[in-house]
Structure 1
Amino acid sequence: MGAFSMTPSRAYNWYISLVAASCMVLYGYDASVYNAVQGSKHWDAYFGNPSTEIVGAVNTAYTVGAIVAGFFFGGPVADYFGRRVGMASGAFCVVVATFMQTFSPRGNIGCFIAGRVLIGIGQGLALTAGSIYIGEMAPMEIRGTIMSFWQMFYSVGSFIAYWINYACTKHKASLGEWDWKMVVIFQMMIPILIVAQVWFIPESPRWHVKCGKYNSARASLSRVRATEQDVEDELLMITEALQFEKEAISSSYSALWKDRSVRKRLMLAFILNAGQQVTGQGTLNTYSTIIYKKVFKNASQIALINALNATMGIIFTANATWTVDRFGRKFLLIIGAIGMGICMIIVAAVETETPVLADGAKSKPVGIAIVFLLFLFIFFYKPSWGATTWIWTSEVFSMNVRAQAVGMASQTQNVANAIVQQFFPTFLNNCGFYAFYMFAGINFLLAAFVFFCIPETKQVSLEEMDTRFGGQNHVEKGGDILGVDDAHHADLDQIMGKVSNKQSAIRHREVSE
């Protein structure tokens, strides 16, 4: 069945996945909203014309909150309370933080920064739970296609933020200080929608099985799988994998460093996710306003370019929906990195080797060329390092460590972001567009890293992913433990009886010891 062939269960699968993907709108909006308000003179005046170091610190505050939540809270919340609670609690934090930022007392940049920290915490919770939820609910054959909407919704967040900002720049005189407050307060729109919908979608069956709720797991699967046999087969494989992980590896997060295969995946995911941010996209998304100020002098023109960039980002990300399950994750990452590296070299050369006009701007042809090249950059970035990094990260970890590993790996994006974004405003100030040569070199190194180190993971079931990283097949090994004749085909009454007997034996053994 094709990705877009619609049965009732397939349509419902798309719906619940898009609800979860809305968590990424939070990320896209926030990453763009601070970039947008930097173009407002009212924002500068309201907070006493902060220095470039303070500007960097405001952005870093968000990443610190996200890193803390992703490394220490996102995984445990999603594992112990469920994926839906993780998404809802993160969205609620964003609503509270939006009020803190919008109504910060005049001159109190500390309150604005505190709001940024809380938004980071909220997104660390929501992004961990949301990405895992999609990976666990989507059918194997279209998992990459559905997950590509995760990155697309980041672009949707940017789209909303930049177009609201552009509208506000056209009415500065009438809005006054609300030219930036309006952009900030609209951030609560999507998290309110998430909280309103998340309780009406099914919880992950893998979480239910981990908690011993087999009937609840079956009920969840029956809403997103086409036939009863599909439900029973998948429930069997989940049960087998979890049983093997519990007995042969570890049911706790200790497997992150005890199991060689998991440890290898975690290191690769750290590098891949950090690489996503040092391609140059993280910097462009946060500081494109001050970058474009070196080329253009009209604030409204810069706001329009940012809005168009976000619009094209949605279109470019759509390329992942038909390429990621056809050509694979590895191919997209390599092509994307090479394309981005070439774009960065040409952008740097065009800006640094052309004259500056009397008003401090570049000529119109040069400006158009730079904008075109940066748009071409996101053409390569969005379906590859934008979408595919998240897809790969959400699917490679076994259930016993998935929530914590995805939370930690995804937040290495913010670790890298915090380092680069803190010094980039000063770097750009001192070196201008020569800074982009650094990003070009990084992108070529990332292409080599993927070629030599990253295994292909398309159309591999979550429960059998370990075989791609030198680990054992958790489904087959779990089937051996449970005494199942066919590890991939369910006779569930028989299986549940054996699971129950096995667990009783384990409890008896523990009591005896």
Structure 2
Amino acid sequence: MAPSKQVVYNWYISLLAAGCMVLMGYDSSVFNSVQGSDNWRVHFNNPNPNMIGLINTTYSVGGIICGWFFSGPLADWAGRRWAMAFGCAITVVATFIQCFAPYHNLGCFMAGRVLIGAGQAFAITAGPIYINEVTAANVRGKVMSFWQMFFSVGAFFAYWVNYACSKNKTRLGDWDWKIVVIFQLLLPIVIMVQLPFIPESPRWWIARHGNVDEARASLKRVRTTDEEIEDELLSIREAIAYEQGAAPGKRQQYLSFWKDKSIRRRLCLAFLINIGQQLTGQGTLNAYSSTIYKSVFKDLDTVNLVNALNATFGIVFTLNATWTVDRYGRRFLFIVGACGMAMTTMLMAVVGLTTPNVDGTKTYPVGVGIATLAFLFAFFYKPSWGATTWIYTAEIFPTHVRAPAVGMSVQMQGVANTIFQQFFPIFYANEGLKSFFFFMTLNIMLAVGVFFLLPETKNVPLEQMDTLFGGVSHVDKGAEILEKHGDYVEEEKRV
């Protein structure tokens, strides 16, 4: 049976919001790409390895500051759509600053990196919240899996544009890296044009304005039956009634993280998995794959081609989450992914350390073997710690703290990434492929941590997460509040 127009429209608006992740995927690959350009290095006076690490750090700092303190409040105040639009607009401005930074003015380029990190913080906080709040519980994981897939789409475009430009670097001159940077304008403009015409989150309408009619109108565009609409609307009203009337930290949002034991537990777990996403080694591989591949391949064109192919396969690998995350659950993917990455990082180190160097690099067959293992690493990472981390983070918090909690949690990726990006170039220069034993150990620890600490959230409605994590039922408590104040609906409309 063909899906209803509401289901199709739900997928459309969710994928539009997921486009915000293309910004992050593209930009996370841009600097890895352009730093390999001789023209870029000459333009910015040949920055040393420490400065390269600092450029990566400035990008993360912009995201961390905005993600922790501004992105959540903006998404709660202006709405999920306008927070995404604001992030896209900053990304457009930052792209121009990076692309047209004056000759030898690395500070201007770095300022663009700070701004682009800030813009992405707004977009990647509001995006997953919006998707979770407009999507039905039984397909929420499947829809959210496209969030990470769009990261791979961004990387795909960045690496292939870079590969094409690098093949024509003599003719293009400085534009061999500027084209790679300027292409980042395309998608944020496309997203901004469409955002005003899609429905706002029904949960935001009720939490921010108490507007049940607008919330119902939003749900009518993405749900198929009146019964389904009224049941979900009632659950939302009940949960929010409790959160606004009785939950700890009613007017002091951030204090709820410490006063409510259930929310505090969820915040700690969200921090753990988002830091864990970087501990897997993926962030480091993504940012420094060109450096690593240069030690196993002699030709820069080969390095660029391997990066582009890795990004291409990343899209396919992420699609595995669409049929596994709602079938086998989040815990399954986390554990299998961590074990698979532990195996591949170990093998990368073993292959690299047990084969000889020839003229400073590995032989071509060995290089192909190491690149294949990097692809296998992506096979395990993309549907698990790539996609599932975002799914889990965006779905576990109650409405009244969801936006700031998601903003803070996802920026823990930036905190961990900042630390890794600063020391990894030196670590790799000193230890080479031995450094991958470090990631092997961390992945084993992550699998054990998930097994003992994370509850399963598969098919659990957003308004029931509080009970799952040991808190009171916001729906039941809210029902009592609504009934007490006479602001209730007929009992037969309840599930």
TM-score range, shorter chain: over 0.9
Write the deviation string for residues 284-329 of structure 1: whole angstroms up to 9, x where unpaired. Answer: 1111001101111211111110000000000000000000000000
**Superposed displacement of residue 125, structure 1:** 0.3
Q: Which residue of 2 aligns with 1:295?
A: 296
Name which of structure 1's ranges 117-126 and 242-251 shifts more when overlaid on structure 2. 242-251
Q: Which residue of 1 aligns with 2:193?
A: 196
- The letter of the residue matching 1:457 is T
Which of 146, 149, 158 pairs up with 1:149? Answer: 146
Kept in 2: contact 1:24–1:151 (CA 8 A): yes
- 1:220 aligns to 2:221 (yes or no): no
Q: Describe how 1:117-156 pairs up with structure 2 within 5 A.
A: 117-156=114-153
Q: Describe how 1:6-85 pairs up with structure 2 within 5 A.
A: 6-85=3-82
- 1:183 aligns to 2:180 (yes or no): yes
Alpha-carbon distance in structure 1 between the residues aligned to 2:156 and 2:19: 13
Q: Which residue of 2 aligns with 1:491?
A: 490
**Superposed displacement of residue 491, structure 1:** 3.1
**Superposed displacement of residue 112, structure 1:** 0.4
Kept in 2: contact 1:94–1:123 (CA 8 A): yes
Q: Which residue of 2 aligns with 1:208?
A: 205
**Superposed displacement of residue 490, structure 1:** 5.6
**Superposed displacement of residue 128, structure 1:** 0.3
Q: Which residue of 2 aligns with 1:509?
A: none
Alpha-carbon distance in structure 1 between the residues aligned to 2:88 and 2:489: 38
**Superposed displacement of residue 342, structure 1:** 0.6
Alpha-carbon distance in structure 2 between the residues aligned to 1:222 and 1:440: 48
**Superposed displacement of residue 483, structure 1:** 2.3
| Identity fraction in percent | 57
Q: Which residue of 1 aligns with 2:467?
A: 467
Alpha-carbon distance in structure 2 between the residues aligned to 1:290 and 1:9: 47
Kept in 2: contact 1:71–1:408 (CA 8 A): yes
Alpha-carbon distance in structure 2 between the residues aligned to 1:260 and 1:463: 17
- 1:327 aligns to 2:325 (yes or no): no
Alpha-carbon distance in structure 2 between the residues aligned to 1:197 and 1:276: 31
Kept in 2: contact 1:24–1:154 (CA 8 A): yes
Q: Which residue of 2 aligns with 1:243?
A: 241
Q: Which residue of 2 aligns with 1:95?
A: 92
Q: Which residue of 2 aligns with 1:414?
A: 414
Kept in 2: contact 1:232–1:491 (CA 8 A): no
Q: Which residue of 2 aligns with 1:280?
A: 281
Kept in 1: contact 2:296–2:364 (CA 8 A): no
Q: Which residue of 1 aligns with 2:437?
A: 437
Gaps of 5+ in 1: 496-513
After superposing on structure 2, the runs of 4+ consecutive aligned residues of structure 1 that deviate more than 6 Å are: 492-495
Task: Say what the alpha-carbon RMSD is for the aligned residues.
Answer: 1.6
**Superposed displacement of residue 478, structure 1:** 1.1
Kept in 2: contact 1:204–1:217 (CA 8 A): yes
- The letter of the residue matching 1:226 is T
**Superposed displacement of residue 494, structure 1:** 9.8
**Superposed displacement of residue 248, structure 1:** 2.2
Alpha-carbon distance in structure 1 between the residues aligned to 2:336 and 2:59: 31
- The letter of the residue matching 2:212 is Y
Alpha-carbon distance in structure 2 between the residues aligned to 1:15 and 1:85: 18
Alpha-carbon distance in structure 1 between the residues aligned to 2:120 and 2:378: 23
Kept in 2: contact 1:398–1:463 (CA 8 A): yes
Alpha-carbon distance in structure 2 between the residues aligned to 1:353 and 1:494: 67
Alpha-carbon distance in structure 2 between the residues aligned to 1:494 and 1:467: 22
Alpha-carbon distance in structure 2 between the residues aligned to 1:154 and 1:491: 44
Kept in 2: contact 1:13–1:224 (CA 8 A): yes
Alpha-carbon distance in structure 1 between the residues aligned to 2:353 and 2:42: 32
**Superposed displacement of residue 353, structure 1:** 1.6
Alpha-carbon distance in structure 2 between the residues aligned to 1:304 and 1:492: 62
Q: 1:36 to 1:67 in 2, by over 3 A?
A: same
- The letter of the residue matching 2:410 is S
Alpha-carbon distance in structure 1 between the residues aligned to 2:322 and 2:155: 19
- The letter of the residue matching 1:458 is K
Q: Which residue of 2 aligns with 1:362?
A: 362
Q: Which residue of 1 aligns with 2:230?
A: 232
Kept in 2: contact 1:236–1:492 (CA 8 A): no
Normalised by the length of structure 2, the TM-score is 0.97
- The letter of the residue matching 1:260 is K
Alpha-carbon distance in structure 2 between the residues aligned to 1:482 and 1:425: 58
- The letter of the residue matching 2:171 is S
- The letter of the residue matching 1:289 is S
Write the deviation string for residues 313-352 of structure 1: whole angstroms up to 9, x where unpaired. Answer: 0000000000000000000000000000010000011111
- 1:394 aligns to 2:394 (yes or no): yes
- 1:107 aligns to 2:104 (yes or no): yes
Kept in 2: contact 1:255–1:262 (CA 8 A): yes
Q: 1:493 to 1:86 in 2, by over 3 A?
A: farther
Q: Which residue of 1 aligns with 2:309?
A: 308
Alpha-carbon distance in structure 2 between the residues aligned to 1:267 and 1:197: 35
Gaps of 5+ in 2: none
Kept in 2: contact 1:152–1:317 (CA 8 A): yes
Write the deviation string for residues 215-241 of structure 1: whole angstroms up to 9, x where unpaired. Answer: 111111100000111111111100000
Write the deviation string for residues 42-90 of structure 1: whole angstroms up to 9, x where unpaired. Answer: 1111111101000001111110000011100110000011001110000
Alpha-carbon distance in structure 1 between the residues aligned to 2:353 and 2:489: 64
Partner-residue secondary structure (3-state), 1:354: coil
Normalised by the length of structure 1, the TM-score is 0.93
Q: 1:463 to 1:45 in 2, by over 3 A?
A: same
Alpha-carbon distance in structure 2 between the residues aligned to 1:490 and 1:8: 28
Alpha-carbon distance in structure 2 between the residues aligned to 1:17 and 1:165: 29
Q: 1:181 to 1:456 in 2, by over 3 A?
A: same
**Superposed displacement of residue 249, structure 1:** 1.0
Alpha-carbon distance in structure 2 between the residues aligned to 1:419 and 1:173: 36
